[in-house]
Structure 1
Amino acid sequence: MNWLRLDQILQQALELNASDVHLTVSRQPTYRVNGILITVPEEPRLTMEDTMELGREMIPNEKAQQQLDNTGQTDFSITMPRLGRVRVNIYKQRGSWAIVVKLIPLTLPDLDTSGLPSVTKELVMRPSGLLLVTGSIGNGTTTTLAAMINYINQHKSGSILTLEDPIEYLHRHNKSIVNQREIGSDCLSFAEGLEAAFWQNPDVVMLGEMKDLETISGALDLAESGHLVISTLNATNALQAIERVVDVFEPNRREKIRLQMANSLVGIISQHLIPEAKGSGRVLAYEVLINSSAIRNMLRNNALGEIEMAIKSRIVPGMISLEASLNDLYEQGFISEEEMNRKLGEVGLI
């Protein structure tokens, strides 16, 4: 391997405030900073031997190595001495290895500095139901979930159970007990973890992702039975999130699922990170849906098309549309008109 060591690459990433590092053959280490990929001119291009040696240095155990050998990819989180915690995905490509390293901040995220609306605190303190955080990859949904768990842990006595693949942020016991289970090592799957949760007496269950029928069904059942379930979903807005939950089921079950959603839904926060007008950072824009008697009736009657208008009308205090959120950021000078219109066009609002 050449002079560029793993600790040097990760230290460079920290200095650049990068969220991710891409390592692949015939390319310099590439850093994602505020959503943009950049390189450092002085750093050398990596060879096949470099990437494989860097990967071997990070692979934590034989199980991860076997997964890479057998499936062509592996995903895990590790703690790097003096550098902090990282999530690593190694995958095979064109006979070599490529690596993506996600840097996880040493300190737990805080709702007070997250950019989320104040109503978020009220939603996460609900005793039961389903609270969804939606957004595409790279828009901070994992960080938001960690901030929510951190807030509950600081302000409420109870039992918190997380199901993650892999575990990213590490939570300590505070006012609550926090037990974190990693899929593949602590339990076989999200679905099995959710089924077991009924017997583990949690007050709050944080589910890393809802992406298949078994997981969504288990989350709804758990939320309906007196637990607060917090999870993420890959959707751009509340309506799309509801449709994705309902549509994963067979047509003859969808009416029942809409009723479950009507009864158990707490709210949906859809988030988007937008480049700042001044400086090089990003600022959070969001849409917030809060369940109410009117929203419940829309879900029960399959009048989903009315939900967007209800959000725009702010029928419940704290509700806000993405369009209004973006406009607020623009009027306060946080984002440019160009970025506001780009995002509105991206999500189909103009």
Structure 2
Amino acid sequence: MNNEILWVIRLGLAEKLFSREQALATLKAVGRDAQMMEFAQQLIDGDIVHEQEMSRLETLLAQAHERAQVGPPPGNPLLDEDTPAPAPAPKLSVASHVVKPAASAPAAPPANVKPSGPKPEFAFDKIGTMDDAALAAGLRKLLIATGEHGASDLHLSAGSAPFIRKHRAITPLSPHPLKQEDALRLNTALLASHQKEIFLDRKDYDFALALDADHRYRVNLMFHKWGASGSYRMVPAGIPKLDDLGLRNLDTIRKLLTYHNGLILITGPVGAGKTTTLAALVAELNEKREDHIITVEDPIEVVQMPKGCNVTQREVGPHTKSFFTALKGALREDPDVIVIGELRDLETIEMAISASETGHLVIGTMHTSDAATTLNRLLDVFPPAQQTQIRASVAESLRGIICQRLLPALDGGLVSACEIMISNTAIQALIREGKSQSLRNVMETGVKEGMCIMENVVLELYQQKRISKETALINTSTRNVRAKVV
């Protein structure tokens, strides 16, 4: 039995989260070779830990993970009645996350995932002959194999052949479309009973899935005209480093993180790496500052263990009703940094701008392609009567915008292209006057301040022979730049 489970039992008994008999029954159900998260999941599935106790279990798992790095607990928590309970661990923010059917706090070292593993395999034609346990085990293996193959997504949709996406290219895993009943069973195989009820009721369901500390996924389930469909996005094991993302002008980006108030926006289309960049920025703050960071995500993907900072991660759904509700509450929770997974509606954007003006550093993401579009989207959600006031607020609070894309590289992988806008006096004047069309000129003259324009970055990647001519043309629109590509 590993030290993590022993610590979970010791701490759980001390906290009266479960009894010794319940711990023994849980261990018998999962086996003595099980991992901590399998044990935790059985506590949930066996109705030993209920929904209202999930936050206590999350904190307990984080503490057990940290203590297990040092060694096992004193005595045998399954046998000795007289061993004193351990001293309370320092109060941590709930940085680990338990989501049915699994959850985890990441191990300290990142996993060594080999992106050149074999193509994932699964007996899709035999789903009808599998029982629920075999189907769940098979899906777990398929998800792990997909990540080890280097794919970013797995799609399991009724009426379509299962496929994976690797470097933007789609590869079928079977020549046969999934039957309606097979797709539903497969996509609900890893759901707890209450999650399945939510999915069948709402017809849409987003959640984070953690098979263990090294294998995490962002999952979207939905129904379409042929039946159930699931999209599984691989979440990198471990916390990404800012230096490893391929972004330009890192000194400029790091300077943005030195501010103690203001608004920083990370933007880009779906699949552009916004979540990874956001996680890297939080990790950088966590290591270099001593602050309270509150994140609001949908769902939690990259788990941030407290280092220099106290990190509180909240998920829309299990922990809060909406981004707006969490952001409103965050202002009363003594934060220094507020991270918003997505700025998507008027109330959330208005609250984010307000928070950035009142002494908080706010970092958020938007689905926009460049700095000018980002500003237009940010401002246009407000009614005309508020435009003058909100433009003045944004001009004052905005620190910078990082727009990014992932482009197919000539070597078969992906290459990052990013546009960086840093707020200065000229930018602030344009925002107040509503002249976003003139941003490009100001950004071109702001190279010394660390600014860069997406089209120029794409052209540079083409000239370095890192992307193809076709990719360069698709990602440029200005006549002068396209002429240099042709």
Q: Name the TM tier (shorter chain).
A: over 0.9
| Contact 2:263/2:363 (8 A) holds in 1 | yes
Q: How many residues align?
A: 347
Q: Distance in 2 between matches of 1:71 and 1:87?
A: 18
Q: Could you tell me which residue of structure 2 aligns to residue 321 of structure 1?
A: 453
| Contact 1:131/1:265 (8 A) holds in 2 | yes
Q: Distance in 2 between matches of 1:349 and 1:190?
A: 39
Q: Distance in 2 between matches of 1:207 and 1:348?
A: 37
1:285 and 2:456 equivalent? no
Q: Could you tell me which residue of structure 1 aligns to residue 56 of structure 2?
A: none
Q: Once the 2 structures are TM-superposed, how far is the Cα of residue 135 of structure 1 from its aligned partner? A: 0.5
Q: Could you tell me which residue of structure 2 aligns to residue 312 of structure 1?
A: 444
1:86 and 2:217 equivalent? yes
Change in 2 beyond 3 A, CA 1:269/1:38: same
Q: Once the 2 structures are TM-superposed, how far is the Cα of residue 192 of structure 1 from its aligned partner? A: 0.9
Letter paired with 1:105: P
Letter paired with 1:338: E
Q: Which stretch shifts more, 328-337 or 169-178?
A: 328-337
| Contact 1:85/1:103 (8 A) holds in 2 | yes
TM-score, normalization by structure 2: 0.68
More relative contact order, 1 or 2 (CA 8 Å, 6+ apart): 1
Q: Name which of 470, 474, 477 aligns with 1:342.
A: 474
Q: Could you tell me which residue of structure 1 aligns to residue 318 of structure 2?
A: 185
Q: Could you tell me which residue of structure 2 aligns to residue 176 of structure 1?
A: 309
Q: Once the 2 structures are TM-superposed, how far is the Cα of residue 302 of structure 1 from its aligned partner? A: 2.1
Q: Once the 2 structures are TM-superposed, how far is the Cα of residue 260 of structure 1 from its aligned partner? A: 0.8
1:44-69 Cα shifts (integer Å, max 9, x gaps): 6432232222222222451x333322
Q: Once the 2 structures are TM-superposed, how far is the Cα of residue 88 of structure 1 from its aligned partner? A: 1.1
| Contact 2:402/2:421 (8 A) holds in 1 | yes
1:157 and 2:294 equivalent? no
Unaligned runs of 5+ in 2: 1-126
Q: Once the 2 structures are TM-superposed, how far is the Cα of residue 316 of structure 1 from its aligned partner? A: 5.0
Q: Distance in 2 between matches of 1:202 and 1:172?
A: 17
1:71-101 Cα shifts (integer Å, max 9, x gaps): 2111101211476111111111225211111
SS at match of 1:57: coil
Change in 2 beyond 3 A, CA 1:265/1:348: farther
| Contact 2:286/2:308 (8 A) holds in 1 | yes
Change in 2 beyond 3 A, CA 1:349/1:167: farther
| Contact 1:110/1:150 (8 A) holds in 2 | yes
Q: Distance in 1 between matches of 2:222 and 2:479?
A: 31
Q: Name which of 58, 75, 79 aligns with 2:190.
A: 58
Letter paired with 1:185: P
Change in 2 beyond 3 A, CA 1:137/1:338: same
1:227 and 2:360 equivalent? yes
Q: Name which of 395, 419, 437 aligns with 1:262.
A: 395
Unaligned runs of 5+ in 1: none
Determine which structure has more spread, i.e. the larger CA radius of gyration.
2
Q: Calculate percent identity across the aligned residue pairs.
A: 32
1:210-260 Cα shifts (integer Å, max 9, x gaps): 010000001000011111111111111001110111100100101111111
Q: Which stretch shifts more, 332-341 or 105-114?
A: 332-341
- Across the aligned residues of Structure 1 and Structure 2, the Cα RMSD in angstroms comes to 2.1
| Contact 1:24/1:46 (8 A) holds in 2 | yes
Q: Distance in 2 between matches of 1:253 and 1:290?
A: 24
Q: Distance in 1 between matches of 2:241 and 2:210?
A: 21
SS at match of 1:229: strand
Q: Could you tell me which residue of structure 1 aligns to residue 334 of structure 2?
A: 201
SS at match of 2:466: coil
SS at match of 2:170: strand
Q: Once the 2 structures are TM-superposed, how far is the Cα of residue 126 of structure 1 from its aligned partner? A: 1.6
Q: Distance in 2 between matches of 1:71 and 1:345?
A: 41
Q: Distance in 2 between matches of 1:164 and 1:61?
A: 23
Q: Which stretch shifts more, 113-122 or 259-268?
A: 113-122
Q: Could you tell me which residue of structure 1 aligns to residue 206 of structure 2?
A: 75
| Contact 1:220/1:261 (8 A) holds in 2 | yes
SS at match of 1:299: helix
Change in 2 beyond 3 A, CA 1:110/1:29: same
Q: Could you tell me which residue of structure 1 aligns to residue 87 of structure 2?
A: none
Q: Once the 2 structures are TM-superposed, how far is the Cα of residue 349 of structure 1 from its aligned partner? A: 7.1
Q: Distance in 2 between matches of 1:259 and 1:329?
A: 36
Q: From the two aligned structures, give the one with the greater strand fraction.
A: 1
